[in-house]
Amino acid sequence: MTALPDWMRPPRPEGWFAEDLDHLPEAPRHTELMNGALVFTLRPRGRWHGHVVNLLTTALADQASTGLAVARETTIRLDRHNRTEPDLLVTTAAHDDDRTWFAPDEVRLVVEVVSPESAHRDRTVKLRKYAEAGIPHYWCIEDEDGAPVVHVYELHQPAAAYAPAGILRGTLQRSVPFEITLDLDGLTPPRMG
């Protein structure tokens, strides 16, 4: 059995705390914290995933209302034991180069683009955690024969759970969290011949 490096050992019996992620320079990029445990991305995300995230980031940034910004590679501090990194999010927070996380009340939309490695977390674990944290909108984007399909969820606040608000193909039109119209087929990576 291989011994764990010292930096991977939790600093306390109850596990890691959200603020600990800022003090782990040895941790791989995109390390998340779930229920006090470190979660690592095991393999690089594929070309389809990266292409969709890049184009969607630009499209949402172009349409975001005043006072909203699109962010990537920044975590959400859901609570003391959970700090996740969605593929992208829409926030009300002002720009700050030194910022490493957002609070749930600063996040209006979370988007996860499902990859084989993240499928279970994106479809179930994060769906529940983002709702419990009070984030009003969640999109889970799936690869359906090379085309993005968006599963849209809206927060039902009394239950602290998401309610399905649609499965969208081809075109996405939403009035919340701001007026958005997306050509989903335009997010599809070109096929290499």
Tell me: the pLDDT tens digits for 13-26? Answer: 999 999 999 999 99
Q: Is the pLDDT of residue 42 over 70?
A: no
Considering the chain, what is the average pLDDT of its residues? 93
User: pLDDT at position 119, please?
Assistant: 94
> In Å, what is the CA distance from 81 to each residue of 18, 34, 136?
6, 6, 21
User: pLDDT at position 3, please?
Assistant: 80
pTM over 0.85: yes
Domains of the chain: 47-76+85-187 (3.90.1570.10)
Three-state SS letters, the chain: CCCCCHHHCCCCCCCCCHHHHHHCCCCCCCCEEECCEEECCCCCCCHHHHHHHHHHHHHHHHHCCCCCEEECCCEEEEECCEEECCCEEEECCCCCCCCCEECHHHEEEEEEECCCCCHHHHHHHHHHHHHHCCCCEEEEEEEECCEEEEEEEEEEHHHCEEEEEEEECCEEEECCCCCEEEEHHHHCCCCCC
User: pLDDT at position 5, please?
Assistant: 87
User: pLDDT at position 47, please?
Assistant: 87
User: pLDDT at position 137, please?
Assistant: 98
Tell me: the pLDDT tens digits for 68-125? Answer: 999 998 999 999 999 999 999 999 999 888 899 999 999 999 999 999 889 999 999 9
Quickly state the pLDDT bin for 190 (edges 50, 70, 90). confident
